[in-house]
Amino acid sequence: MWLADGWKDYEVIDTSSGEKLERWGEYILVRPDPQVLWDTKRQDTRWKKKNAHYHRSNKGGGEWEFFDLPKQWKIQYKDLVFNLQPFSFKHTGLFPEQAANWEWFGDLIRTQKSQHPEREIKVLNLFAYTGGATIAAAKAGASVTHVDASKGMVTWAKENAALSGLEEAPIRYIVDDCVKFVEREIRRGNFYDAVIMDPPSYGRGPKGEIWKIEESIHPFVKLCSGILNDNPLFFLINSYTTGLQPAVLAYLLGVEIKSKYNGNVQADEIGLPVSSNSLILPCGASGRWSCR
């Protein structure tokens, strides 16, 4: 399992009965987690001293209960800064486990830049959300195209970039359906050194385009293989869908990327350490292809 264990501003404190106790900077949140199937004693006093609690409904969805939480606050991961706020479907605007992937591709970008300072490394970040991967890649020295169908998420990503000192960085922000954008880029002859994708299980584009990951992921990876240049650096797929195991992601990358460019494919779960015990909380899976 690949661990996001470099955090100081974020911590999974404990887990029990379908919920996780987290520290986001100075604030304590309790949120549901479908992986927490165990019922262990809640000995940490912060279970009763949380700043907010997201309650899941038996009918789907849920709602926040707030005690003492600002509408917005910031946390930092090394030299990256993020705006957070609680919003629907239990989210805060950041997936901390993705730091494991930020470290991986950041090292690839920095190494390539140190060996070839004149090379522009063009990264395409699809389903880019609030820009965690975008600012990690830009900080490492890449030029990034950030694509998401939600105008609100793209605005949030711009704010995160500015907080991280990247307001003038070579980041292009696009509000668009990811499939349609890639199709147009291929027609325009715009090619990239790397692709990052974090597709949802289900979603709709700005014009009602339907995305179902089980039906759409393989055709989309195949499509994106055509947007890579002749000497690509990496390709990353991240998934929170339980049906897409690491072996599935590895096979997709092997069939569509490695078959064309050689290189190496790896896939594994990603996870977060739980500070109260030796548990690692699983948080989805990632598939990685790299040129070396």
Residues 15 and 104 in one domain: no
Residues 163 and 280 in one domain: yes
Domain that includes residue 26, residue range: 2-84
C-alpha neighbours within 13 Å on the C-beta side of residue 16: 12
Examine residue 44 and state whether it is found in any structural domain, yes or no: yes
- What domain count does the chain have? 2
Residues 74 and 104 in one domain: no
State the CATH number of the domain containing residue 36: 2.60.40.1180
Distance between CA atoms of 229 and 226, rounded to whole angstroms?
Answer: 8
Q: What is the pTM of this model?
A: 0.94
Task: Average the pLDDT over 222-243 and give the result.
Answer: 92
Examine residue 89 and state whether it is found in any structural domain, yes or no: no
Q: Which of 63, 84, 105 is the last residue of a domain?
A: 84
Residues 59 and 141 in one domain: no
Residues 127 and 47 in one domain: no
Residues 146 and 35 in one domain: no
Residues 211 and 234 in one domain: yes
Examine residue 195 and state whether it is found in any structural domain, yes or no: yes
Residues 33 and 69 in one domain: yes
Mean pLDDT of the chain: 94
Examine residue 91 and state whether it is found in any structural domain, yes or no: no
Residues 192 and 272 in one domain: yes
3-state secondary structure the chain: CEECCCCCCEEEEEEECCEEEEEECCEEEEEECCCCCCCCCCCCHHHHCCCEEEEECCCCCEEEEECCCCCCEEEEECCEEEEECCCCCCCCCCCHHHHHHHHHHHHHHHHHHHHCCCCCCEEEEECCCCCHHHHHHHHHCCEEEEEECCHHHHHHHHHHHHHCCCCCCCEEEEECCHHHHHHHHHHHCCCECEEEECCCCEEECCCCCEEEHHHHHHHHHHHHHCCECCCCCEEEEEECCCCCCHHHHHHHHHHHHHHHHCCEEEEEEEEEEECCCCCEEEEEEEEEEECC
Percent of the chain residues topping a pLDDT of 90: 88
**Tens digits of residue pLDDT in 156-213:** 999 999 999 999 999 999 999 999 999 999 999 999 999 999 998 777 766 676 778 8
State the CATH number of the domain containing residue 273: 3.40.50.150
pLDDT greater than 90 at residue 241: no
